[in-house]
A = this chain, B = another copy of it.
Amino acid sequence: MKLLLIGFGTVGQGLAELLIDKENILKDKYGMTVQVVGIADMLKGSVYNPGGVDLAQALKRAKGGEMIPGPAGGFDGDALAMIKQAKADMMVEATYTDIKTGEPATSHIRAALEKGMHVTTTNKGPTALFLYELEQLAAKEGVEFLYEGTVMSGTPLLNLARETLAGCRITEAKGILNGTTNYILTRMEEGLSYEVALAKAQELGYAEAVPDADVLGWDALAKVTIIANAIFGKKSTPEDFPCKGITEITAEAIAEAKSRGKRFKLIGKVWRDGDQIKASVGPEEIDLSHPLAGIMGATNAVTLTTDILGDVTIVGPGAGRTETGYSTLVDIIHVGGKR
């Protein structure tokens, strides 16, 4: 299988490392030989080699702050040009997320699908905004469009809901979808103020300098929208659902809730209300006996309520270089691995 890696930041590099580490397992267990034929990154340049890019060298250059292309050069970092001209079986879209426009990722994905390439992405822009359209396009072209890593990074929530729980009717998905805010709430319960807890999250690299996407709930909202579309078949965009972050929760409110056996969590949820699908993001007081109450720090978790099994909860990492890179590897195995 020939791959294009579009975006060579943490996720793309995480996948590249896994492709090197797991080469033998991919061959022995899944009968796959995966070859990266092109890498394009806005900042790091691009390299294209139909015979296979030297991944170790590209990783070394990228980590050293160098441009990726060796003397052979590439497409001058023009991802779209590479997608249109390259011969590849699958594209990994891992550029930055723009949740307002979904670009440039959406254009990359459209171009790849139209060429008959399978696509996996970790990008919440195209998936929260245009999932239905992109899935229709993939179906028309007879290829797969996969996006396991957009929710809970490598923790396989979407595959669990759609494949492993085959035959179940899911009536609610409810969980902790943003590790940064969960970390902040955990530290606030230990006695830190919001400001200090946020600063700690920034120090650890969990929160960005402008933390709005996390603390105002937008990141969780994008994931909720993807769940609504992917698991509940609700054609929707983030604007369709109410969203509230954690900025108004005080240390006093957290302590007061604790005294009543409750714990604040930023909860994203999607549920059936009669024939309607509803969704929201906002802080909720969770009973300490609920599995979600025990999810502390940067961990994510989602409880799926089903007709047959009642509640099934999955707990795992919600972010991380290797973890998110792994989600694309699972999608690659899904497409190309023998069963």
Q: Which residues of A contact B (CB under 8 A)?
A: 18, 22, 25-26, 30, 154-156, 159-160, 163-169, 289, 291, 293-296, 308-317, 322-323, 326, 329-330, 333-334, 337
Report Cα–Cα, A315/B164, bound state, in Å: 14
Nearest chain B CB to A143 CB, angstrom units: 14
Q: Which listed residue, B160, B294, B333, touches A289 by the CB 8 Å rule?
A: B294
**Chain B: CB-nearest residue to A322:** B308
Q: Does B18 contact A155, Cβ atoms closer than 8 Å? A: no
Q: Does A154 contact B308, Cβ atoms closer than 8 Å? A: yes
Residues of B within 8 A of A323 (CB): 308-310
Residues of B within 8 A of A165 (CB): 156, 330
Report Cα–Cα, A64/B294, bound state, in Å: 44
Nearest chain B CB to A258 CB, angstrom units: 14
Q: Does B310 contact A313, Cβ atoms closer than 8 Å? A: no
Report Cα–Cα, A26/B169, bound state, in Å: 12
Q: Does B164 contact A163, Cβ atoms closer than 8 Å? A: yes
Report Cα–Cα, A215/B168, bound state, in Å: 32
A164/B160 contact (C-beta < 8 A), A316-B309, A326-B308 known: yes
Residue among A22, A167, A317 having the largest count of chain B Cβ atoms under 10 Å: A167
Q: Does B294 contact A293, Cβ atoms closer than 8 Å? A: yes
Residues of B within 8 A of A311 (CB): 315-316
Nearest chain B CB to A160 CB, angstrom units: 6
**Chain B: CB-nearest residue to A292:** B294
A155/B309 contact (C-beta < 8 A), A25-B167, A168-B326, A294-B291 known: yes
Q: Does B164 contact A164, Cβ atoms closer than 8 Å? A: yes
Q: Which listed residue, B156, B167, B294, B333, touches A333 by the CB 8 Å rule?
A: B167
A154/B309 contact (C-beta < 8 A), A26-B167, A164-B160 known: yes
Report Cα–Cα, A337/B166, bound state, in Å: 10
